[in-house]
Amino acid sequence: MLLALSENIKLAFMDKNTAPFSAAEIAAEGIKPDEYKELVQRLGRHPNKAELGMFGVMWSEHCCYKNSRPLLSQFPTKGDRILVGPGENAGVIKLTDEIAICFKIESHNRPSAVEPYQGAATGVGGILRDIFTMGARPIAILNSLRFGDLADPWVRDRVNGVVSGIAGYGNCVGVPTIGGEVYFDPAYNRNPLVNAMAIGIMETPQIVKAGASGVGNPVLYVGSTTGRDGMKGASFASAELSDKSEQDRPAVQVGDPFLEKSLIEACLEAFKTGAVVAAQDMGAAGLTCSTSEMAAKGNIGIELDLDKIPARETGMSAYEYLLSESQERMLFVAHQDRTQELIDIFDRWGLHAVVAGQVIAEPIVRILWQGKTAAEIPATALADNTPIYYREQSDPPDYLVKAWQWQESELVELSNISNRIAPASALLQLLDSPAIASKAWVYRQYDHQVQNNTVVMPGAADAAVIRVRDLDFGVGELALPTLENQRVGIAATVDCNARYVYLDPHEGAKLAVVEAARNLACVGAEPIAITNNLNFGSPENSVGYWQLAEACKGISAACREMGTPVTGGNVSLYNETIDSDGNSKPIYPTPVIGMVGLVADFTKTCTQGWQNPGDLIYLIGAIDPASVTLAASEFLAIVADQVAGRPLPVNFELEKQVQAVCRDGIAQGWLRSAHDCAEGGLAVAIAESCIAGDLAAQINLPLAGNPSPDQLAILKLLFGEGASRIVVSVQPSDQKAWEAYLKQHLGDHWQLIGAVGDRNSDFTITIGNDSQSSIDLPLEQISQTYNQAIPRRMNAR
């Protein structure tokens, strides 16, 4: 049974005669007064310093999800393909009858704000350990990054550090970074988001889980040494950022990618022997987390002797051992009489492997240090029967009541943007916005071709594609033959428009899920499952909790509609910055969706760039200007400097039809390119396809029944967002077959809108019968604007 707590109990019962700690000392561990009272009742006594620290990290939001767990329970987590759902280090799904893949996403936001290089680097290392702990070989990394205004030197420093950290760790460990997303918005000015996702293919005979078993079985500590780096990192990750956060730099871990590479190989070799009963990564909360979670999941106990833990520093206390988050460490439970076999494997890889404890019958975590008992706590009190806050949801907050009153008609009345509202000028402004512009400055620092399996490169398409080949391993009954003659691939994407979620958490979260699925459809993939990273402000604020609750409802609804169950993920709350006056500013609510899909034949995929002059360009999906909106759009934010309105509700029936048609068109070989209309709307999508293919386009957008469109109608048609729309190109020889298919499966939800030009022609968009082009720009100009937007800002002094 979960522990529910109120927030109004005081520490009146504590005084100098009964409590070993002051209220300030307890608060320093991140423990609330009522939580301290509860843990005293659990123990039947006051804790010692080490035990207090253990409760502090394990009862932090980062570890126990005490504010979000009731909301997460509504996620759909079952499905025909789900082999392992939430609760383990990572989710596992069946890609085909022979192939199982493991994937997950996690955040490293606070560490990256304080120490961007190591914060991002150890975020990559941590998510990789979640994957290979399950017995899977990591084959791909993706990331979702959010930064503030690039005009701010502090922000540019974080961008440099984070991107370098991801590259420095991922490149050296030998796992390709195949995709991701990068957004820029002032909402993240002092609170960047760094979410890392990893994918692996199961390589061991059985999926390795974390639950300990077998009384008397030895507990092995393997990997690197333990030091004082990363102290109380879980608690640090559960607190707001302030101007004093720089003092928490010791809470940021330090990674070693070369050691992690050895750890990957040693662990996978060890798992294949069958000598390992259970395994747990030492991530957040280090030894405390690994011992308590393994014990609780196995409904058994663990006794661990800290004197046997390899240390890199002298004079460490029990408290420091237990709360250190030094990287590249694991905890195993091994079969008796097979420990030397495992020790020998790790010795060959130059890694530590020592018997540091044993499984015991009593369901407790007992920590020994210097010949004495340093801590003794019921395992479930640390790992699963933790504080849970059931908070009341508020009505929509005042900022939304006002934002939802905004009308599109107000836009053309704004005299301050009249000189910028011309379509050609607006398009250039959008292409110059770092949120839309080319992210090549970022992804060119990553090695995306190591392992030689990346099919679709970063920046080339709406989703990444990686092939599965030359494998000779399997998972239990999923015996996997060599795939030399097969063409199975994995598609993956990370996606979230946080402005949509800010302006309507429920619909915005739905849109994040369906757009992720649409991204996969644009490369020909069938969406299978998601992992999510819920980045939100403080749940103790009624607005913050309402945003989180509504977003969870939206994700749940969309996943059920799209048939993409949730396999796990991460919750990162308290993403707020506190200024010198004590005012707190939260980020936009940002529920990042990481989605994976099946590519039946990786030779039949699409990218977003035009392929050949003369190819025909179609818009499939919502073609009526009334089906899109400028509310919550990039146009409204960038050109009109307004964040207002409300995104349109998702039309799931049309969404699924459009995605299916796109997938089928790619499988049939009709589609030469496919690109989702997302941020910036139709005009930006077409421009991006021109830039990616280095070919121009001549577009004519008909407006049935409106031969003389007004300015607002033109802006909506060009820059409106929120609907299910994909721009595709088809070679003329396939026109007849393609259009017959469209009539049968999409009815009138499609239009032939133009043709691909050559690289020497201009990019033009004409509206209706108007002989004057709404947009007429040289291909070189839009390419230069798009490609130089971020480098120009990053090079600013």
Q: Which residues are catalytic?
A: 62, 108
Residue type, 229: D
CA–CA separation, 496 and 502 (whole Å): 11
What pairs with residue 364 in β-bridges?
A: 378
| DSSP string over 740-788 | HHHHHHHTT-EEEEEEE--TTSEEEEEETT-SS-SEEEEHHHHHHHHHH
- Give the other-Cβ count within 10 Å of 473's Cβ: 18
Of 68, 108, 285, the C-alpha closest to 191 is 108
Q: Measure the CA–CA gap between 239 and 574, rounded to whole angstroms.
A: 6
Name the nearest CA neighbour of 270 among 341, 336, 175. 341
Tell me the CA end-to-end span of the chain in Å, nearest whole number: 57
CA 565 distance to own-chain centroid:
16
CA distance 465 to 8: 51
Q: Tell the burial category of 664 from Cβ atoms under 10 Å away from its Cβ (0-12, 13-18, 19+).
A: middle
Give the span between the Cα atoms of 440 and 786, in whole angstroms: 10
SS (H, E, C) 53-101: HHHHHHCCHHHHCCCCHHHHCCCCCCCCCEEECECECCEEEECCCCCEE
DSSP output for 133-199:
TTTEEEEEEEEEEEE--TTSHHHHHHHHHHHHHHHHHHHHHT--EEEEEEEE-GGGTT--EEEEEEE
Question: How far apart are alpha carbons 447 and 168 in whole angstroms?
Answer: 10
How large is the angle between the packed helices 652-667 and 505-521, nearest 10 degrees? 10
Look at residue 411 and give its three-state secondary structure. helix
Write a three-state SS string for 120-147.
Answer: HHHHHHHHHHHHHCCCEEEEEEEEEEEE
The residue type at 662:
C
Give the strand order in the sheet containing 82-84. 82-84, 91-94, 100-107, 193-202, 136-147, 177-184
Dist CA 289 CA 377 (whole Å)? 12
Helix (H) or strand (E) holding 491: strand 489-495
Q: Which of 66, 165, 150 is CA-nearest to residue 114?
A: 165
Q: Residue 364, Cα to own-chain centre: how many angstroms?
A: 34
Q: What angle do CA 114, 115, 117 make, to 5 degrees?
A: 145
- 593 burial (CB, 10 Å; 0-12 / 13-18 / 19+) is buried
Cβ of 449: how many Cβ atoms within 10 Å?
11
CA atoms within 13 A on the CB side of 733: 3
Residue environment code for 7-24, b if the CB has 16+ CB neighbours within 10 A, otherwise e: eeeebeebeeeebebeee
